[in-house]
Structure 1
């Protein structure tokens, strides 16, 4: 019994030391966990602040881009000629002067006028848009307002559409609000786009101003429709989750196989045995 007690005491002593060691390690892990949580919270606050600044920066950049396009117009529907050259300013003058009730040869100053900067499609595809910059902002506004009140057509009777030239971000934001604008159009409620990007409308004498996804809920409540889920068009795009799909890998580039040189003919070859002719060099 005495030997057994001595053995158990030694074992309990080793176990108690192991428990103390494990306790100290667990305490260290808990302290490290608390520090990690504090760092993660600080990083989340920092990322949230950066996201806010990034959103404001994108808004300002989009506003600058749109202000640089204030004198631009986009004309859709003009067929492309078969020839390589096209006098676009003269063509636009012949369209816009009758629209403004001016003489056909009245001067209309363009800074630039060209087709959309993409490859020319097939003959059956839609023609590329024409983008022009008028020198005077007043002319651009008059043309835009007159095109909304009349059916603009080319000399072949094709219907034409005239739009203000907007930045890609603004077009994507308007596309995101298409479900909301469709409801307004179905109910014949007038609305207006503003700069920087915004949507303004009046319902039962109350004005609504939409410049971010958070402003949509009051407008849908006033319309009596279900809330719309619209992505934040100026926020940082969300990181797509891993779907488990393996992306196709490109085949590794290899140097082309060198062509094998034809075997050299020996001096004993019959083709190399030429008749003895006098040298032309004398």
Structure 2
């Protein structure tokens, strides 16, 4: 029994040493994972910013039937007619969004148009926000910025708050780069990245104005 106890004691001692080494390794790995997670977030944000920058001159045109095969020249003429521009804007290239071709009774895929000049692109988007929908050539067309999926979802999260703001007089609001809601009331600006916090502020503002 004494020999067995001595052997077990030696085994326990070895196990303690192994566990101590494993614990040190786990602590080291946790620190590395935390560092790598922070770096990953930085890289994701940088990639998102680069992708958003590459889409800066893009327009997303919704509502154009699939049978209309539009070249850059056709899209240029379409935009000139829709927004009553003085001259046809220069369009570098156009393509339909990457998705299976819909059936005749389904919603057509959007057209992504790469504009040559950002100032012209911004001007068209400004007019598009005012007009909302444009009825022409037996179709109802809308034009939006071409955001990536993550940014589009983040901006869409503010839709409910924006609907609430439409009913408040004297309040200016809008989505600014990339997905931040800016609310201006009595000359004071408030920026929100959280839809929940923005909604709480709007409810408070609405109660104060009653």
What's the TM-score, normalizing by structure 2? 0.79
8 Å contact from structure 1 (residues 203, 222) kept in 2: no
1:63 maps to 2:52 = no
1:101 maps to 2:78 = no
1:79 maps to 2:97 = no
Unpaired runs of 5+ residues, structure 2, are: 167-172, 205-210
TM-aligned CA deviation for residue 90 of structure 1:
4.1
| Matched residues, number | 195
Q: Which moved more, 1:35-44 or 1:166-175?
A: 166-175
1:115-165 CA-partner distances (Å, limit 9, x unpaired): 223332211221111111111111111111111111312311x32121111
Counterparts of residues 1-282 of structure 1 (less than 5 Å): 15-81=1-67, 86-102=69-85, 106-150=87-131, 151-156=133-138, 158-174=139-155, 178=157, 181-188=158-165, 190-195=173-178, 198-202=179-183, 205=188, 207-210=190-193, 219=198, 222=201
TM-aligned CA deviation for residue 97 of structure 1:
1.6
Q: Which residue of 2 aligns with 1:6?
A: none
8 Å contact from structure 2 (residues 59, 112) kept in 1: yes
Unpaired runs of 5+ residues, structure 1, are: 1-14, 226-282
Distance, in Å, in 2 between the alignment partners of 1:22 and 1:114 is 73
Rate the CA distance shift 1:20–1:216 in 2: closer, same or farther, 3 A. farther
8 Å contact from structure 2 (residues 161, 199) kept in 1: no
Distance, in Å, in 1 between the alignment partners of 2:122 and 2:189 is 28
What's the TM-score, normalizing by structure 1? 0.61
CA RMSD across the alignment: 2.7
Larger radius of gyration: 1
TM-aligned CA deviation for residue 32 of structure 1:
1.4
1:76-108 CA-partner distances (Å, limit 9, x unpaired): 1111217xxx243344234322344335xx332
Distance, in Å, in 2 between the alignment partners of 1:137 and 1:80 is 27
Q: Secondary structure at the match of 1:111?
A: strand
Distance, in Å, in 2 between the alignment partners of 1:50 and 1:135 is 39
